[in-house]
Amino acid sequence: MFDSRMAEAAVTAVAEAIKVVGRVSRPQSLTKADTSPVTLADYASQAVVTRSLRDQLGPQTRLVGEEGSELLEKNPEFAARLAELLGFSPTPDLFQPSSIEDGACWVLDPIDGTKGFLRGDQYAIALALLKQHQIKVAVLGCPNLRLECLGRQGCLVVAVRGQGCWARPLEADEWLQLKTSDRQKDLRILTSVEPAHSDDAVAQRVTERFGATAIPMDSQAKYAVLAAGEGEVYLRIPYREKIHREYIWDQAAGSLIVEEAGGVITDLEDRPLDFSTGTRLLNNLGVCASNGPCHQALM
Ligand code: AMP
Ligand code: MG
């Protein structure tokens, strides 16, 4: 088992957020400045995780989350609905990013895969501890994900650098260690559901070349599937015309989860993910994660 106060705190925080998010019925979305959707659940999750970590680890605990305070300031009705859902009035500091220049900082995607969440499909609450430009602890909460190895819907996955990757159902205490598969054929390739997030045409060519099966799925739940050995490859291929540099909160938790389960994660040019460049992975192009044995063939 893992032995880490930080991991325990992260699991508690994500489990609390899952409960609050579960109370959001019929989610509706607003549109952010970058045209991506956001819901009450995104804000509720960030408020709960941040508050929980600060309660457990001290008020100085630093965190960068995806959601900012602007929307709450501009939309008092939304802020009031959020306070009602939470049962407390969230203070603005819960939505003000800490500096990630030095020291340890948590990185949070409060609802990764908001589009999946809105469709009732996969989404993940993704929390990671970044220290000295490395991810040290990672937690994914995936309420809609059914891992075969757990045999029921909903899971928490945790990884601690050097201590492995573990999963449990939402309402159980026992952790099961996850290991990636050792398949080198009949590969299962995980891809985005949203065509805008990854170049399908390239992924399709790779799928055909390897005689693989494509499994579209939203969010970092894909990393949990890979870690559990229920898929072999995860490709994130930016469009040539408009190269998207990944946000750290979209990759931080998932990357350690896959590595600690025995997998490999690099960008499309076989470089390790470089978490030293602020809130985006400026030194990387796309993502290729795998079970390990098939990684070089993919490159
Ligand atoms: P997925 O559910 O794997 O398709 O990825 C969801 C994430 O894609 C969101 O959290 C967004 O931050 C991210 N995203 C948004 N736009 C793009 C884009 N153009 N390319 C790649 N990822 C994006
Ligand atoms: Mg995200």
The yes-or-no answer on residue 42 being catalytic is: yes
How far CA 39 is from CA of 54, 134, 220, 255, in Å, comes to 23, 30, 18, 25
Candidate list 50, 114, 207, 266, residue with the active-site label? 114
Rounded CA-CA distance 184/186 in Å is 7
96-100, 219-223, 271-275, range with the lowest pLDDT: 96-100
Q: Which residues contact 95 (CB under 8 A, 6 or more apart)?
A: 43, 46, 47, 65, 67, 68, 69, 72
H or E element at residue 57: helix 40-57
**pTM of the entire predicted model:** 0.98
How many percent of the chain have pLDDT more than 70?
100
Partners of 131 in the beta sheet?
134
Measured in Å, residue 221 CA sits from the centre of ligand 2 at 11
Read off the pLDDT of residues 110-169 as tens digits, 9 standing for 90 and up.
999 999 999 999 999 999 999 999 999 999 999 999 999 999 999 999 999 999 999 999
Query: Which residue's CA is minimally distant from atom 17 of ligand 1?
Result: 197
Measured in Å, residue 115 CA sits from the centre of ligand 2 at 10
Rounded CA-CA distance 257/180 in Å is 10
